[in-house]
Homo-oligomer: A and B are copies of this chain.
Amino acid sequence: MELTPRFPTFLHGGDYNPDQWLDHPEILHQDIEMMKRTHVNCVSLGIFAWAQLEPEEGKYDFAWMDDLVERLWASHIHVCLATPSGARPAWMADKYPEVLRWDRFFRPRHFGGRHNHCPSSPVYQEKVTAMDEALARRYAAHPAVILWHLSNEFSGDCYCPRCQEAFRAYLRERYGTIENLNRSWYTSFWSAMYTSFDQIEPPGPMGQESLPAMKLDWRRFSTLQCRRFIEMEKRAVRRFCPDLPCTANLMEDFHDYDYFELSGSLDLVSWDCYPAWGRGDNTETARNYAMNHDMMRSFLDRPFLLMESTPSLVNWKKVNQLKRPGMHLLSSMQAVAHGAQSVMYFQWRKGRGGAEMFHGAVMDHDLREDTRVIRDVTEVGLTLERLSHLYHAPLKRPQVCILYDWNTRWALDYAEMGMPGNMGYLETVREHYGCLYEQGISVDFRNCERFDPDEGYALVIAPMLFMFSSGIEDRLRRYVEQGGTLVMTYVSGMVDGTDQAFLGPTPYGLTDVLGIAYQELDALYPEERNHALYRENTLLEIRDFCSIIQAGRAQVLASYTDDFYAGSPCITRSVFGLGHALYMAARLTPEGLARFYQDLLKDLGILSPFPHPLPHGVIVTRRADHLFLQNYSGREVRIPTDRCWKEMIHGQTLRDCLVLPVNGLLILRSEA
């Protein structure tokens, strides 16, 4: 579903909770005035407003929202309308305790907090549906309303009897017979065999924790439960506005649900982005969030919304630092560079109480209208307006794809191997990603199911792809055969889609493609290191993991230098069909990894979109024909150039030298 035409241009705005200020009309007045002054064109409304919208069971009160929507629209401010299912009123929890979830100790939660509904509760489903329909009936046709913001930051799972029953139903459907389930979960281990689906409970500390496959299925089921809830909410709002798109705000580095799966139920992906920007060098932080941006774009392969970010600081990290000057524009434009269609904030105005009363916001408690934050926000609003031509410009397909798969992430988390609970999948993907990121090379993400060998990627990287599911090995084989280049690492292809170890050589199904076979996995203590001798005279440093492999017909690019496997192959390259398959048997340190990719990208002719070398911390990202030159280095940087550049915010022409102050940004188009 396309957002256009209701989506007019880049959205700029944020979460707005006027329900906290209904007895302060002067504040509501200031809100709208200041939105105009800060070039805000959109707010998310009603996210936690259930208690205001339905103060008593069945008695809806929309008057205040009617008024607000009208006043916003009168100032040309759009509305992302939230369903309030992220938290429910006390009267509901009191009357129908079943709406609250049970924790993993099988304890029913009491009323309080948020994001703690039981997704199976018929009462909650009924109440949410009724509320969503009422909202939809009333507001969907309003020209201000452009998007449904379903609930908030879905997360977690529930151990109540109904959810348990739903889990069993899911397993019945998935496995058909208990014998199948027993086989898939490998319940011959520790006498865990079930004779009836009725015996099964969710995995957890009170009961079964010894079956990784069961834990994996619990995560898949939890993803499905969330998806069903989203679909239920979608059905409710769609009854009255079939053409309004629905999103749900996702979260960074999220573990509990498979977002590739979940986003299948969304028309648009949106997410909440909270980096800890600090003093000095922010390059690693920038890398981690760039990767999140790219992943969010990849889920539906289209632009995404930055639904939440902070205009100044958050209040829930261990140490909460202010955004330094320049950082608000820089980080907002980072999102845009990677495909965002919006820059939205949590939140418009700081509340006077509650756990988030000191979370950064555009408007502060002091009611001032001339703060540093307001100036920063205004600058972003103006910049978005100046970049409006980019809004519809199609995104360019990257040349590189990284395989990132929730099933592998979960399986590695649950795998008792190597360094149990500390296998470092996410960090490893980040390190591989970073090698491309720092060279300005765009990346798509795919999971096993979604990977298509014919999408034309010049390079596919599969870091630690522990689980080969959906027959990924066949598609990777075809990809290489057809001329692609594949990079694979230690602990790949060890288990199948049910989390059972493959029998026979691994990486399963690809040993001939890679020309190697995995044999043993050694783990290093944090202070230990090994090295790989690479291209005859370069030593690459290794930490954490060394796998011992047998190189068949693969060419050895690097060999271990230390320990009893010194001399044995560490990095190999195999020619297969028209392509190449590389294998990295050990975990290189980031420096070593960077060197490896430098050479590989050069070999493959995958080039930075920027013609000059960039110092550490200066990142270039391309969107359409715009280059976003971003300085995260913490130092002022000067880049000599022999070209002529158009700077897109202020319209200057730049030549000879590009100057980037600390946290500086240049959005450039080559004039040459």
Contact = CB atoms under 8 A, between A and B. Distances in A.
A113 to B, nearest CB: 5
Given A199-B91, A418-B320, A505 B190 contact: no
Interface stretch (A204-212, A291-299, A592-600, A652-660): A204-212
Contacts of A210: 112-114, 354-355
Given A316-B416, A416-B355, A89 B367 contact: no
Given A112-B208, A357-B212, A352 B192 contact: no
A501 interface: yes
Contacts of A50: 191
Given A191-B84, A419-B318, A502-B365, A351 B312 contact: no
A506 interface: yes
Given A199-B91, A351-B189, A354-B186, A207 B322 contact: no
A377 interface: no
A17 B504 CA distance: 19
Interface in A417-455: 417-420, 422
A340 to B, nearest CB: 26
Contacts of A207: 109-113
A178 to B, nearest CB: 10
A315 B420 CA distance: 7
Nearest to A416: B315
Interface in A517-571: 517-526, 528, 563-564
Interface string A206-224: 1111111100000000000
A359 B416 contact: yes
Interface stretch (A51-59, A70-78, A329-337, A617-625): A51-59
A23 to B, nearest CB: 8
A419 B419 CA distance: 31
A442 to B, nearest CB: 32
Interface string A389-432: 00000000000000000000000000111111010000000000
Contact of A500 (B194, B353, B355): B353
B112 A203 contact: yes
A155 interface: no
Contact of A112 (B192, B312, B521, B528): B192
Contacts of A373: 520
For the residues of A in contact with B, the DSSP-based class is loop
B110 A501 contact: no
A193 interface: yes
A19 interface: yes
A525 B186 contact: no
A19 B189 CA distance: 9
A37 interface: no
Contacts of A352: 186, 500-501, 503
A125 interface: no
A505 B191 contact: no
B350 A501 contact: yes
A51 B191 contact: yes
Nearest to A278: B525
A191 B87 contact: yes
A111 B199 contact: yes
Contacts of A251: none
Contacts of A318: 419-420, 422
A319 interface: yes
Contacts of A420: 315-316, 318, 320
Nearest to A315: B416
A20 interface: yes
A239 interface: no
A9 to B, nearest CB: 31
Interface in A103-140: 105-107, 109-114
Interface in A355-383: 355-359, 365-368, 371-373
A479 interface: no
A95 B409 CA distance: 36
Nearest to A366: B505
Contacts of A419: 318-320
A79 interface: no
A320 B187 contact: no
Contact of A188 (B20, B206, B521): B20
Interface string A130-174: 000000000000000000000000000000000000000000000
20 contacts: A20-B188, A48-B190, A51-B193, A89-B195, A90-B199, A110-B207, A112-B203, A189-B356, A190-B355, A212-B354, A213-B353, A279-B528, A315-B420, A318-B419, A319-B524, A320-B419, A321-B525, A322-B520, A357-B501, A358-B417
Given A87-B192, A319-B523, A358-B417, 12 more contacts: A49-B191, A50-B191, A51-B192, A112-B192, A114-B190, A186-B357, A188-B351, A211-B355, A318-B420, A352-B503, A353-B498, A358-B416
